[in-house]
Amino acid sequence: MLLIALPLYVLELTGSPLVTATVFVLGLAPTIFAGPLAGVLVDRSEPWKLMAIVAGLQALFLAPLAAVNDASDLWILYSVVIIESVLGTIIEPCRATTAAGLVPAVQLAEINQLMGVLSSLSRLLGSPLGGLILAVGGFDAIIYANAGTYLVAAIIFTIGARGQQTDRKNQTHQDRPASPWADLVEGLQITASTPALRQVMGVVSFIALAQGGFVLLFVLFVARELQGNEADVGVLRGVQAIGALIGGALLGLIINRITPRRLISGSLLLFSALSLTIWNLPALTTSLSIYIGLFILIGVPGVSLMTGLLTVLQSNCEPRARGRVLSTYFALFGAMQAIGTLLAGFLGTGTGLTVGLQVQGLLYLIAALMALRLTTPSSHLTHQPANLDKHL
C-alpha cells in the first residue's frame, strides 16, 4: 500500500519528479550502508524474535507521517523513510534466511517459489488498496492501514518465536568469528570469492537499475502517457500480482525440471519484451483495459525471477552465512536501484521520459544475456538435506 501511495503523495505535494525520486533514494540509502551489518545481526540472532521486534518498530515509526501536510514537512517524511528502510533492511534477509532453514537444501527453489506466490497475493490486495485508500481516505488512512499490517506481522512472528527450539542460538554462533567486524568481513569475502555469487550480483546490478527506473517512470507513464489517476496507478501496479500468481502456479509444475539459470534468463527476456511493448504502445492506443492485460502478463515472470535469484544465492553459501550473503544482495540491489531512480528523475520530464522508458526495457535484456553465463549452484551445498529435527 505504501509503495503505491508514497510516490503519489509526494508528487502531489511538490509536483516534481526529481523530488519524488529523491524520496526513493533516501529510502534506499540505508539499505546500501546498513545491509552488510544487518546480515551480521541476522546470522547472530534468534530470527523469529528479531522479526517480531522489527515489525513492531515498523508500525511505531509510521506515526510521524501523520504530521506531513505540505512540502515544508517533507523532512519528517524523509526521516520516516530512512528509519523504515533500516528496519526493512533487517527483516527482509532474515525472512528469506529463516524460510530457507526450514526445508532440505534440495527444496530451496520450492520454498522460494511458495514465498513468491504469497508475496504476489499480498501485492494483489495491497497495491489497489494503496491507490484507492489514498484517493478516498487520504494519506492518514494509508498510515493507519500500514501500521495495522505491521502489527499483525509482529504478532505472527511472536507466535513463531515461542515455538522455536532453544538450540538456535548455539547453532547460529558455532564456528563463527568472535567479533561482528570479523563476521562482516567474512561475509563479504564469501560473496566475492564464490563465482556463482559474483556472477549473480552482476546480473542483479542491471535488474536493480531497471527496477529503480520503473518505480518512478511507471507513475509518470500512467499519469502523462495514459492520462490516468491515482486509482489507475494502483490498479495497474496491483494486477501484476495476478500475473505473478499465474506464473507462480505454472512454476510449481516445472520447478524441479528447470535450472535456476534458465529461470532467471528466461524471466528477464520476457520482462524486456513486455516492458518495451508497453512503453511504446501509447502511439497506437491508451485504452486502460489493454494495459491491464499487459501488466498482468508482465507479472508472470516475477516469481520465477526471484525464485531463481534466491535459489542461486542460498545454494552457493553455507547456511550460517546466508544472512550476510542475502544482505549483501539487498544492499547491492538498493544501491543500483537508487542510481536507476535518480536517473529516471532526471529523465522524467518532456521527451526524456520516452528515452528513459526505452533504456529501462533494454536493461532487462542486458541482464538476461549475463544470466545465461551463470555458474550452476554448487552440488555439495544443493544436495545435502538439512537436519529438519533442528527446525520443526
Position 271 pLDDT exceeds 70: yes
Average confidence score pLDDT of the chain: 82
C-alpha to C-alpha distance for 140 and 142, rounded to whole angstroms: 5
What is the model's pTM? 0.74
Topology of the domain comprising 2-373: Growth Hormone; Chain: A; (1.20.1250)
Long-range contacts of 149-152 (CB under 8 A, 24+ apart): 149/1, 150/55, 150/56, 150/58, 150/59, 150/62, 151/55, 151/56, 151/59
Cβ proximity of 80 and 64 under 8 Å:
yes
Instruction: Summarize the confidence of residues 162-184 as an average pLDDT.
Output: 60
- HSE at residue 341, side-chain half, CA atoms within 13 A, is 25
Position 297 pLDDT exceeds 50: yes
Share of the chain above pLDDT 90, in %: 22
Residue spans per domain, the chain: 2-373
Position 168 pLDDT exceeds 60: no
pLDDT of amino acid 171:
46
C-alpha to C-alpha distance for 88 and 93, rounded to whole angstroms: 9
Position 173 pLDDT exceeds 70: no
Look at 53-67, 303-317, 342-356 and tell me which has the smallest mean pLDDT: 342-356
pLDDT of amino acid 385:
36
pLDDT of amino acid 265:
93
The C-alpha angle 98, 314, 184, rounded to 5 degrees, equals 80
Residue 258: partners with Cβ closer than 8 Å, 6 or more residues away: none
- When mean pLDDT is compared over 56-65, 174-183, 294-303, the highest value belongs to 56-65
pLDDT tens per residue, range 93-125: 888 888 888 888 788 888 888 888 888 778 777
pLDDT band for position 13 (cuts 50, 70, 90): confident
The C-alpha angle 277, 282, 288, rounded to 5 degrees, equals 95
pLDDT of amino acid 53:
94
pLDDT of amino acid 206:
95
pLDDT of amino acid 177:
55
C-alpha to C-alpha distance for 319 and 101, rounded to whole angstroms: 7
Look at 20-24, 157-161, 195-199 and tell me which has the smallest mean pLDDT: 20-24
Position 378 pLDDT exceeds 60: no
pLDDT band for position 330 (cuts 50, 70, 90): confident
C-alpha to C-alpha distance for 354 and 346, rounded to whole angstroms: 12
Higher pLDDT, 294 or 345: 294
C-alpha to C-alpha distance for 177 and 67, rounded to whole angstroms: 45
C-alpha to C-alpha distance for 98 and 218, rounded to whole angstroms: 33
C-alpha to C-alpha distance for 278 and 3, rounded to whole angstroms: 21
Cell of 34: 546498513
Look at 34-43, 81-90, 375-384 and tell me which has the smallest mean pLDDT: 375-384
